[in-house]
Structure 1
Amino acid sequence: MDFKKMYSFLEKLTRNNHKDWMDANRKEYHNVRDAYIKWLDEMNIKLAQIDPDYFNTPGKKAINRINNNLLYHPNKPIYKDHFGAGLDQESKQGDFYIHLGVEESFIGGGYWHPSSKTLKSIREAIDYNGEELLRILNKKSFSKMFGGLLIDNPLKTAPKGFSKDHPHIDLLRRKSFAVSYNLSRKEVQSPYFDAQVIEIYKELLPFRRYLNQATTV
Structure 2
Amino acid sequence: MDNTKTFWEAHKEVYATAVAAPMRALVAALADEFGEARIYRPYRDVRFAKDKTPYKTHQGAFVAKGPSTGYYVQVGAPGVRVGSGFYEASPARLASIREAIVDDRRGRELEEILAALRSSGWEIGGNRLKTSPRGYDADHPRIDLLRHKSMNVGKSYGFEPVIHTPELVDRVRADWREVTPLVEWFLRYARG
Q: Deviations over 1:88-129 (max 9, x none)?
A: x14572120101101353111112464444322211221232
Specify the alignment match of 2:39 in structure 1: 63
Specify the alignment match of 1:10 in structure 2: none
Aligned residues: 188
For residue 148 of structure 2, the aligned residue among 170, 174, 177 is: 174
The amino acid that maps onto 2:78 is E
TM (norm. structure 2) is: 0.84
For residue 16 of structure 2, the aligned residue among 26, 30, 53 is: 30
Structure with larger RCO (C-alpha < 8 A, sep 6+):
2
The amino acid that maps onto 2:45 is N
* CA spacing shift, 1:137–1:183, aligned 2, 3 Å: same
Q: Any gaps of 5 or more consecutive residues in structure 1?
A: 1-14, 49-53
The amino acid that maps onto 1:96 is Y
What secondary structure sits across from 1:146 in the alignment? coil
Q: Which has the higher strand share?
A: 2
TM (norm. structure 1) is: 0.76
**RMSD over equivalenced CA pairs, Å:** 2.3
The structural deviation recorded for 1:191 is 4.0
Q: Deviations over 1:191-213 (max 9, x none)?
A: 42111111101110001111122
**What does 1:79-94 correspond to in 2, within 5 Å?**
79-87=55-63, 89-90=64-65, 93-94=68-69
CA distance, structure 2, for counterparts of residue 42 and residue 192 of structure 1: 11
* CA spacing shift, 1:175–1:100, aligned 2, 3 Å: same
CA distance, structure 2, for counterparts of residue 77 and residue 95 of structure 1: 28
CA distance, structure 2, for counterparts of residue 216 and residue 37 of structure 1: 31
What secondary structure sits across from 2:152 in the alignment? strand
Moved over 6 A (4+): none
